[in-house]
Chains A and B, each alone.
Chain A
Amino acid sequence: MEDYGFFQSWAAVFCAIVGTIIWRIAGVVLASRIPADGPVMGWVNTMAYAMVSAVLLLILVHPTGVLATTGLDHRLIGLGAGLLAMFISKHLIFSLLCGISAFALAIQLV
């Protein structure tokens, strides 16, 4: 454990920013070189979808912070209700409301 001084604190912020911006710059540069509608672009897209889904499921199954004070069953009930509503209604905001309400009810009742 070390304590950061003023300079080191800001150096840490700088490291975090650079650690993200490099991917944005690389993305912009690579995007203009990958042919649209080709197999590589299709693969990059599926990986982007899978990775975003992976982040979200990790937030839902192994959360940190305030969400960690709720039970896994509460969060899965909310997720399940939202997905079910989406498959039946195909309406985004309605399904979101179903998911959130089911989650809120589950916290109170289950």
Chain B
Amino acid sequence: MNNPEFHMLNASQTRRNAAIDALRAPCYALGITMAGFSTIARESGFDFWMALVTSLGVWGMPGQVAFASLYSAGASLFIIFVAVSLANMRMLLMVISAADMMHLKSHNLPLWKRIFWMQFLAITAWANLGLAQQKYPSHLLLPYYQGFALMIFAFGILGTIFGFFLSDLLPPDILRVVIFITPIYILLLIINARQKANRLAVLIGGVLSPVFFPFAGEWAILIAGILGGSLASLYSRFIAKWHLDPVQ
């Protein structure tokens, strides 16, 4: 599956390639998505620094939006903590999955450095890592992630900054088309995941969450994720007996 031309690259060439991949489409869309968060945050009563520090420190859109809506409703600090934790709980799974894809253990980084790099992980970088896994050898995936995630992060933070002041700049007709880009981009990436079990999980999780939403609200994400992932895992292991390709 790996392309031989990518095997010859060194770490800094890989970082540069990754940054260029990020510049192709996802970083602009994400910048505007974060500008969208900034607009919501300003309407909810955040000042500029609060919006900026939230993007820098949380760096997970669903949790940030949950935070802004609870803040505007005047929720208690405890409720804010619980709701943001729940909305961003998928970080746990994404961090484990990304560390596995990058063979993070083999890089022998100290714990603080591993946590530092994982601070930049969000859905877009994680989903792109799955794509890069099909091209790059595993020892180059950490540099790939670093180049890609930092570029996305930079655009996301710029989006937060500009969005706070310039939210009225884009006409609504264009804004809603641009905000549509990020979810579609990520869905197209993950529906093309390398392993069949993961593609099945995308399908089941995606179908279940809107079905559960009317009864379960935001919990639908958690339920659909656990149920969809478990069903896909069980099906692939015991019924279809798909082999898990070991990463090259």
* Residue B11 CB within 8 A of the other chain: no
Q: Which residues of A, 1-46, contact B by the 8 Å Cβ criterion?
A: 1-4, 8-13, 15-32, 34, 36-37, 39, 41-46
* Residues in chain B near residue A58, CB distance under 8 A: 209-210, 213, 220-221
* Residues in chain A near residue B46, CB distance under 8 A: 9
Count B-side interface residues using an 8 Å CB cutoff.
Answer: 110
Interface hub of A13, A22, A28, A48 (most chain B Cβ within 10 A): A48
Q: For residue A98, give the distance in angstroms from its CB to the closest CB of chain B.
A: 10
* Residue B40 CB within 8 A of the other chain: yes
Name B's interface SS: helix
* Residues in chain B near residue A45, CB distance under 8 A: 93, 97, 100, 195, 197-198, 201, 229
B80 touches A12 (CB 8 A): yes
* Residues in chain B near residue A1, CB distance under 8 A: 73-74
Which residues does B use to contact A, with CB under 8 Å? 24-25, 36, 39-40, 45-47, 50, 53-54, 57-60, 62-65, 67, 69, 71, 73-74, 76-78, 80-85, 88-97, 99-100, 103-105, 111, 114-115, 118-119, 121, 123, 126-127, 131, 172-173, 175-177, 179-181, 183-193, 195, 197-210, 213, 220-222, 224-230, 232-233, 236-237, 244, 246-247
Which residues does A use to contact B, with CB under 8 Å? 1-4, 8-13, 15-32, 34, 36-37, 39, 41-62, 64-67, 69-70, 75, 78-79, 82-83, 86, 90, 92-93, 95-96, 99-100, 103-104, 107
29 CB < 8 A contacts A-B: A2-B76, A20-B60, A20-B91, A23-B85, A24-B118, A26-B95, A30-B96, A31-B105, A43-B233, A44-B100, A45-B100, A45-B197, A46-B229, A47-B93, A47-B229, A50-B227, A51-B224, A53-B201, A54-B221, A57-B187, A61-B209, A64-B69, A65-B36, A66-B179, A78-B184, A83-B187, A86-B191, A96-B185, A107-B173
